[in-house]
Amino acid sequence: MTPASNPGGKSAGRLILREVLLVSVTGLAVALLGNQLSPRGLSLTRNYFPSTAAAPALVRAVAVTTTNQSAAEKLAVEVKSAGLQLASRAQIGAWFADPRRLAGKIIFVDARNETDYFKGHIPGAWLFDPYQPEKYFPTVVPACQNAEEIVVYCHGGDCDDSLSAATLLKQVGIPGDKLHVYGGGMGEWQTTAQPVETGPQNSGQIKPVVP
């Protein structure tokens, strides 16, 4: 359209193409450099969704629908196919009350990001954001090696970051038979009036339990 409306149509077209090239090359350079230098940059060689799972359910927090049931069923299948264990709410409650938890033999691993973790997590849980695994491996892996049972959770619902985190831990040598994915996640934990710790791990800032 522009070349036609311009007396020097061809040269205008060439100018636009040169500009496109300039913008594209600069944009790509900025993108490469920006991602490389950003502390939150993504690695291009990692599969952040290592499970066999396809994309999560279409609708996320759009409305409360019947997708919750299917999300739970889907997670159960994916957990099993990844060689991991699925933990029920009752099992989680029992492990949380188990004295072995205080000795580090039963640990909880929070697979959400730092912001969500600081807002509230299962008391004593380890933070392990599966999108920045290198940052957390040095602390979380030894804790997992020392533990007999590991519970990995995220938000719950159609969130599958717990599955990704558990799969990553399995890939670095943590046996799958002690990695339990808690599908209900933080959402279920809070709605069943369980204690929530805010701030860093073992901060002692426990939100009161609301029955």
Partner 1 sequence: MGSVKVLHPAEFLKIIRQYDLVHQATVLDALAAWLPWFEIACGCFLLAGVAVRGAALVSLVLLIPFSAAVLHRALAIKSLLAISFCAVKFDCGCGSGEEYICRKLLENGILIALSAGLLAHGGRQSA
The answer to whether 179 and 208 have CB atoms below 8 angstroms apart is no
Pick the binder of partner 1 from 9, 32, 171, 205 (CB under 8 A): 32
- 165-194 in b/e form (b: 16+ CB < 10 A) is bbbbbbeeebeeebbbbbbbbbebbbeeeb
Q: Closer to partner 1 at the Cβ: 17 or 76?
A: 17
Pick the binder of partner 1 from 86, 104, 105, 132 (CB under 8 A): 132
Part in contact with partner 1 (CB under 8 A); list of ranges 46-54, 84-92, 172-180, 184-192? 46-54
89 SS3 class: helix
Part in contact with partner 1 (CB under 8 A); list of ranges 23-31, 79-87, 177-185, 191-199? 23-31
Q: Closer to partner 1 at the Cβ: 147 or 165?
A: 165
Pick the binder of partner 1 from 9, 52, 59, 206 (CB under 8 A): 59
CB 62: neighbour CB atoms within 10 A?
Answer: 9
For residues 44 and 38, what is the distance between their CA atoms, to the nearest angstrom? 13
Q: Closer to partner 1 at the Cβ: 32 or 76?
A: 32
- 14-31 in b/e form (b: 16+ CB < 10 A) is eeeeeeeeeeeeeeeeee
Token pair 């019947």 is at which residue? 66
Residues that bind partner 1 (CB under 8 A): 1-2, 5-6, 8, 12, 15-24, 26-28, 30-35, 38, 40-49, 54-56, 58-63, 65, 113, 129, 131-132
